[in-house]
């Protein structure tokens, strides 16, 4: 493995190893992600047909009451922003880049640079791409919800949704888990 690739691979691996989730679902995801990375050291990006390491942005507004979600075209459901890593890109860099590309927001910044959540999920077959897995590393961001949104070609819609109403848009437990974790984090912040 080329030295530069090895260096960023090692940094990603260490960051995940150092993340200590409380919930069993995330502990399972951590184990799966580490197993995937260890077995695909030279092919863990989009070129691997079995799965890809991805990075997501869980973006809350400045008042900490809403989250930015998009109605993803190919998946036809509401999810957080995010996507694939580019060559030699960290998961943090990918999450921030994807967030900006998919929202048009300039005010996005990390609320915390540590991993916020981990998830492994199956992506169904679509448009000549076989069914595969996303090994997703998620970060917590904040942004100004008064700034104009600019949806990407990947989205049907892009919307700030009240944290208490996310459940009316989706049923995915991993996303509902992030809603709960956000509320817990913010509640603890003000204690």
pLDDT digits (tens, 9 = 90+) for 62-88: 999 999 999 988 888 999 999 999 888
Position 6 confidence tier, pLDDT thresholds 50, 70, 90? low
Q: What pLDDT, on a 0 to 100 scale, did the predictor assign at position 102? A: 95
Q: How far does Cα 11 stand from its chain's mean position?
A: 18
Residue 188 above 80 pLDDT?
A: no
CB 126 within 8 A of CB 74: yes
Residue 191 above 60 pLDDT?
A: no
Q: What pLDDT, on a 0 to 100 scale, did the predictor assign at position 1? A: 46
What is the radius of gyration, based on Cα positions, of the chain? 16
> What is the rounded average pLDDT for all residues in the chain?
90
Q: What pLDDT, on a 0 to 100 scale, did the predictor assign at position 28? A: 97
Alpha-carbon gap, residue 188 to 96, rounded angstroms: 25
């Amino acid at each position: 493995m080329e030295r530069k690739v090895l260096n960023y691979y090692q940094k990603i691996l260490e960051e995940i190893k150092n993340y200590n989730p409380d919930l069993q679902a995330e502990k399972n995801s951590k184990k799966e992600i580490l197993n995937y990375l260890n077995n695909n050291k030279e092919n863990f990006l989009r070129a691997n047909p079995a799965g890809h390491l991805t990075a997501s942005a869980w973006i809350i507004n400045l008042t900490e009451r809403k989250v930015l979600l998009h109605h993803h075209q190919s998946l036809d459901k509401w999810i957080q922003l995010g996507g694939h890593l580019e060559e030699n890109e960290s998961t943090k860099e990918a999450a921030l880049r994807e967030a900006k590309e998919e929202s048009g927001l300039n005010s996005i910044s990390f609320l915390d640079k540590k991993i916020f959540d981990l998830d492994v999920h199956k992506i169904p077959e679509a448009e000549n791409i076989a069914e595969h897995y996303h090994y997703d590393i998620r970060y917590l961001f904040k942004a100004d919800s008064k700034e104009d949104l600019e949806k990407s070609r990947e989205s049907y819609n892009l919307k700030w949704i009240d944290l208490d109403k996310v459940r009316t848009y989706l049923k995915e437990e991993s996303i509902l888990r992030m809603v709960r974790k956000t509320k817990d984090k913010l509640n603890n912040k003000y204690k």
